[in-house]
Chains A and B, each alone.
Chain A
Amino acid sequence: MKLLTGNDLVSGAVTWWTGNGWSIHVEDAADVGEHGEAILHAEEGARRVNAPYIIDALPTENGPRPAHIKDRIRALGPTVRTDLTLKPADPTAGDWII
């Protein structure tokens, strides 16, 4: 599957296209199929996202898993500061990245 991701223009937070908006949770990301480029241009033009790009991901039962480690780190947060990730209470959350 293909995901569309980028950063929020104002806060800089990592965001994922959900099909009708943006979420900071990769679990909410929708498969953009062939439409990634078109959505990307529209959303960037409207400044609802900054520096967007399209990535490959695998669907899993816990939601999409980005194919590249870099995007998995973006999705969760720094592996060396689990307290600052999106799942601070889960000390094993980092395992998802590797």
Chain B
Amino acid sequence: MYKYDNYDQAMVDARVAEFRDQINRRIAGEMTEDQFKPLRLMNGLYLQLHAYMLRVAIPYGTLDSRQMRMLAHIARKYDRDYGHFTTRQNIQYNWIKLEDCADILEELATVEMHAIQTSGNCIRNISSDQYAGAAADEVTDPRPWAELLRQWSTFHPEFSYLPRKFKIAVIASYEDRAAMRLHDIGLELVRKDGELGARVFVGGGMGRTPMIAPEINPFVKADDLLSYLEACLRVYNRYGRRDNMYKARIKILIHEIGADEYRRQVAEEFTHVKTLGIDPPLAELERISAFFAPPAYDAANVEPDRNDPDFALWLDQNVKPHKQAGYAIVNISLKPIGGIPGDATSAQIDVMADLAEKYSFDELRVTHAQNIVLPHVAKRDLYAVWQALRDAELADANLDLISDIIACPGLDYCSLANARSIPVAQKIATRFADMDRQRDLGELKLKISGCINACGHHHAGHIGILGVDKKGVENYQLTFGGSGAEDVSIGKIIGPGFDEDGVVDAVEKATEVYKALRKGDERFVDTYRRVGLEPFKEAIYG
């Protein structure tokens, strides 16, 4: 894992001092809320339904046990004993006091964490593949590149008042576990003639106009990457729309001028920017990469004893192959049946930290599906890990099944919401609580957002649910056929919306149609793509 040097540490320490000063000026009345808002947002501090909400970055989703324990400590000391892991590899605290905020950041800084640029119209936390460094299919570990980008984008003087927020994801495998093409910039690291570089996709996103990012450049060399991104951002900063907040994302600019024209403008800007000498030498990427060297694997390749049926179920569902023989990737579901997707108590966070320290070379990951990963667990330890998880109510064996629901906070917490998301997730999970039934349905990604901003990725759900406000009453629209993976696609609305119970019934009917029509080992989304909407519509509205 990356370790801060004195420069990195000084940067977050200074940020704490600066933000403390900004908060003091606000409390003393030297700034209006209108002036303070963009400043607090640039540090992840929102005003939500019940209190201030603080979003803490977990850069590219990687953290160690010390950092994880700090997250638990913050939850206990300053919040109400829990945190919410989000689709952007951040954690949100829902009950923060403005007066505590600087102290929280000061504590976070002691473990190399921060809330820098977790909101605001700037470059946000860089997200990545939760299996980075452990997946057999990666061409390289994407995290050193993500760290390079984290540093480049931190306090970028030119790109801190962009037309709108800007999200970057980096992956390094064909399989896309990070919804890469639904980001403003998605980078897929590839190897060409032995050299590593990035395939650059620009202009994806969700929100009210979901778009899949087109490829803008098939290969940018490592030592050109920052110049190239600088060119991408500069064109956007100059020409992105600022007249209408809903049209301000880079996807709209690219949609309006076309990918070819955008590519041309970036190429022209790049020719100029490249002369400025802003690219670090490859030695910097190498310096960072050294921190991500593989751990000292030493376990023999023994298969775990599958005698305990609950354990065997969990093995089959939540444990994934590791590139190192003798090891496995453990997914910890934060989706207990009837629970709140992505929430974890401070005690659970501590348990996961302890397990990471003891069994996973001190590493944890946060996933965009709001789960946690122990990336490097020796197979001989799997049973012990499972037992500890089970005791902490963290052993639900539902990864990628219908109850592994992504849900945004919705109207229970979010001031922008039209409808509640969490109760819908709870009802659906409860309806499908039977594990045999869930496993029979197979991979089925269900994603819920409480409004069109799409924080719950509903556009990318095999089944998506969008909360809308129908004359003051919560109403839910269903979409089918989305995907945030390598088969990326945007779901289509199937028809009129439903009330809360109606949408649960409709989901159930859809699964029955799937069961009747599926061929071989087709997933729900495959069947839907093959047969189209009609049979589903008939069963649901019929």
In the assembled complex, B417 has its CB within 8 A of some CB on chain A: yes
Instruction: Contact check, B49 vs A70: say whether CB atoms are below 8 A apart.
Output: yes
Do most interface residues of chain A lie in helix, strand or loop, or is the interface mixed? loop
In the assembled complex, B413 has its CB within 8 A of some CB on chain A: yes
- Across the interface, B99 reaches (CB within 8 A) one of A10, A51, A81, namely A10
Instruction: Contact check, B49 vs A73: say whether CB atoms are below 8 A apart.
Output: yes
Interchain Cβ contacts within 8 Å, total number: 67
Instruction: Contact check, B50 vs A68: say whether CB atoms are below 8 A apart.
Output: no
Instruction: Contact check, A12 vs B49: say whether CB atoms are below 8 A apart.
Output: no
In the assembled complex, B302 has its CB within 8 A of some CB on chain A: no
In the assembled complex, B300 has its CB within 8 A of some CB on chain A: no
Q: Whose C-beta in chain A lies nearest to the C-beta of B414?
A: A70
In the assembled complex, B474 has its CB within 8 A of some CB on chain A: yes
* Docked complex Cα distance between A67 and B96 (Å): 27
Hey, which chain A residues are within 8 Å of B422, CB to CB?
A: 80
In the assembled complex, B27 has its CB within 8 A of some CB on chain A: yes
Instruction: Contact check, B29 vs A77: say whether CB atoms are below 8 A apart.
Output: no
Please tell me the size bucket of the interface on B: 20 to 34
In the assembled complex, B33 has its CB within 8 A of some CB on chain A: yes
Hey, which chain B residues are within 8 Å of A58, CB to CB?
A: none
Please tell me the size bucket of the interface on A: 20 to 34
Hey, which chain B residues are within 8 Å of A79, CB to CB?
A: 412, 420, 423
In the assembled complex, A7 has its CB within 8 A of some CB on chain B: yes
In the assembled complex, A87 has its CB within 8 A of some CB on chain B: no
Instruction: Contact check, B49 vs A11: say whether CB atoms are below 8 A apart.
Output: no
In the assembled complex, A18 has its CB within 8 A of some CB on chain B: no
Task: List 22 A-B pairs, Cβ < 8 Å.
Answer: A7-B47, A7-B52, A12-B47, A12-B95, A12-B97, A13-B50, A44-B33, A47-B29, A50-B33, A50-B47, A51-B47, A67-B472, A69-B411, A69-B472, A70-B417, A73-B412, A78-B412, A79-B412, A79-B423, A80-B412, A80-B426, A81-B412
B residues lining the A interface (CB < 8 Å): 26-27, 29, 33, 47, 49-52, 80, 95-99, 340, 411-413, 415, 417, 420, 422-423, 426, 472-474
Contacts A10-B99, A11-B51 supplied; 12 other A-B pairs, CB < 8 Å = A9-B26, A10-B27, A12-B97, A13-B51, A44-B33, A50-B33, A50-B47, A68-B472, A69-B474, A70-B411, A74-B49, A80-B426
